[in-house]
Amino acid sequence: MSLRLYDTGTRSVRDFQPRKPGHVGVYLCGLTVQGPPHIGHLRSGVSYDVLIRWLRRTGYDVTYVRNVTDIDDKILVRGEEQGRHWWAIAYENERVLAAAYDALGVIAPTYEPRATGHITQMTDLIGDLVERGHAYVTEAGDVWFDVSSWPAYGELSHRRPEDMLSSAESGAKRDSRDFGLWKAHKPGEPEDAAWTSPWGPGRPGWHIECSAMARRYLGDAFDIHGGGTDIMFPHHENELAQSRAAGLGFANFWVHNGMLNLSGTKMSKSLGNTLSVEALGEKGFRPVDIRYYLTSAQYRSPVDFSEAALGEAQAAWDRLTNFVHRTAEALGAETTIGGALSPEFTAAMDDDLNTPAAVAVVHDAAREGNAALDAGDDAAAARIGAGVRAMLDQLGLDPLDPHWDDPGDAKLTGAVDALVKIALEQRAEARARKDYAAADRIRDELAHAGITVKDTPRGPVWTVD
């Protein structure tokens, strides 16, 4: 079975075939950096990280582009509110975003272009649209895309014309559905938020940015374009229309991730229900817990966030971690290297990145591996341990990856290990003198502290519940 992906454009799961054999071009709409990111923002980055890892595992050479929108009305408003330069706010939040991605183990894209660095490519593309009759210039110097000139408009989101009327009416627009390609500079706006163009000073509209940057780094046509379902319309619909109207093949697949919601409502800064990686860390959740939580849900499914659900993910991750560490300690870390992905795991990943099924396969294998360790079957335990680690690594969740090492956790683990070792030695001495009541009491006290002791052919082993 080869990779199959759900294509939003055709509303179907399709066999993935790249335009160029052996190479895949991927464009992901990045964030507008008017504020720091929350985990709802980060879901697309994690989802696409899983996709990119799987494409590369399959043998493809992947060019992955994830842009940064660093000029936007919201950024200008934020600068005015805070009395700061708009570009300082954008850069500050861009760095926070990069740190959050890194904390979650998201691999850096091949290219991460900023909108402000590609104004020339945008004005060139707008000029093509004007020349082809798909855009028009107003007296004020604004440039609008003429939706009526493109009959296929709506093909991505499958919306009816009456459902696409803009709420922001403008007397300069010919049609309420028309969208801005170039915004003329207005009195009172920062002078450094304007660039020269054939139509006068101004700045690009949001939608033209991605079309121009995708073309710059991936060519006139590429394989996969993605982002959240919340920007399918109007952003992606407008991208598709302007790119095709300019004569570009653009994207072959449209892949959209579902939203991360809070109490059934999309997470947003305006609702004040944002949750950052740092804020969750203060509540005891590690970045790896967040990544596991986001990865274990199928990327297209909406997820209702709760701390209870994140706590369950944390416990599930710890069970897998305990098995991998137990195997490495009992048989040597080298025995967990070079494992194979199970056919069931591969089939799940090829099935539109069905990560819930893939994670279930990993948990089943870990249970089987723990049973093999308990039975003293070292050969089976080593084989299963290596497989579990390989599957987790494919998901960016390898417990032995140095990225997930926390010096504070390491110190705490060492202290707990030493204390439990003393307790187990006392238990062994009690059993040796046939004082089984004392031995049971030590085991029960450890259990009360959340530590489970199992007696195996190679001696007692313990795990933290």
pLDDT at 65: 98
With a cut of 70, say whether residue 43 has pLDDT above it.
yes
pLDDT at 446: 81
For residue 360, the surrounding DSSP H or E stretch is helix 355-375
210 is in an annotated binding site: yes
Topology annotation, domain 4-257: Rossmann fold (3.40.50)
Could you give the CA distance from residue 188 to residue 198 in angstroms, rounded to a whole number?
22
- Mean pLDDT (the chain) is 91
pLDDT digits (tens, 9 = 90+) for 318-366: 999 999 999 999 999 999 999 999 999 999 999 999 999 999 999 999 9
Q: Domain limits of the chain?
A: 4-257, 277-404, 407-464
* For residues 232-238, average pLDDT: 96
* For residues 85-113, average pLDDT: 97
Closest to 371 in 3D by CA, of 358, 385, 360, 361: 385
For residue 455, the surrounding DSSP H or E stretch is strand 451-456
pLDDT at 419: 75
Residue 447 is encoded by which pair of tokens?
Answer: 């259990």
pLDDT digits (tens, 9 = 90+) for 178-209: 999 999 999 999 999 999 999 999 999 999 99
Residue located via tokens 């705490």:
412
pLDDT at 423: 77
Q: Which of the four pLDDT bands, split at 50, 70 and 90, describes residue 100?
A: very high
Could you give the CA distance from residue 441 to residue 321 in angstroms, rounded to a whole number?
28
With a cut of 50, say whether residue 412 has pLDDT above it.
no
- The CATH number corresponding to 277-404 among 3.90.1300.10, 1.20.120.640, 2.60.120.200, 2.30.110.10 equals 1.20.120.640
For residues 289 and 62, the answer to whether their CB atoms sit within 8 Å is no
Residue type, 153: Y
Q: Which of the four pLDDT bands, split at 50, 70 and 90, describes residue 431?
A: confident
With a cut of 50, say whether residue 411 has pLDDT above it.
no
Closest to 167 in 3D by CA, of 239, 230, 234: 234
List the single range of 256-265, 361-370, 394-403 with lowest mean pLDDT.
Answer: 256-265
Could you give the CA distance from residue 395 to residue 404 in angstroms, rounded to a whole number?
13
* For residues 40-50, average pLDDT: 96
* For residues 258-269, average pLDDT: 77
Whole-number percent of the chain with pLDDT over 90? 79
Q: Tell me the three state secondary structure of residue 328.
A: helix
Pinpoint the alpha helices (H) of 225-306: 237-245, 277-282, 287-295
pTM of the predicted model as reported, rounded to 2 decimal places: 0.86
Residue 40 is encoded by which pair of tokens?
Answer: 């709802």
Could you check whether 4-257 and 277-404 share the same CATH topology?
no
pLDDT at 407: 47
pLDDT at 425: 72
pLDDT at 165: 61
pLDDT digits (tens, 9 = 90+) for 112-165: 999 999 999 999 999 999 999 999 999 999 999 999 999 999 999 998 766 666
Q: Which of the four pLDDT bands, split at 50, 70 and 90, describes residue 438?
A: confident
Could you give the CA distance from residue 236 to residue 232 in angstroms, rounded to a whole number?
5
239 is in an annotated binding site: yes
195 bridge partner residues = 202
Whether the upstream peptide bond of residue 234 has omega within 30° of 0, thus cis, is: yes
For residues 252 and 224, the answer to whether their CB atoms sit within 8 Å is yes
Q: Which of the four pLDDT bands, split at 50, 70 and 90, describes residue 426?
A: confident
For 139, counting Cβ atoms within 10 Å of its Cβ (0-12 exposed, 13-18 middle, 19+ buried), the class is exposed
118 is in an annotated binding site: no
Could you give the CA distance from residue 170 to residue 206 in angstroms, rounded to a whole number?
17
Q: Which of the four pLDDT bands, split at 50, 70 and 90, describes residue 461?
A: low
* For residues 305-317, average pLDDT: 95
For residues 422 and 462, the answer to whether their CB atoms sit within 8 Å is no
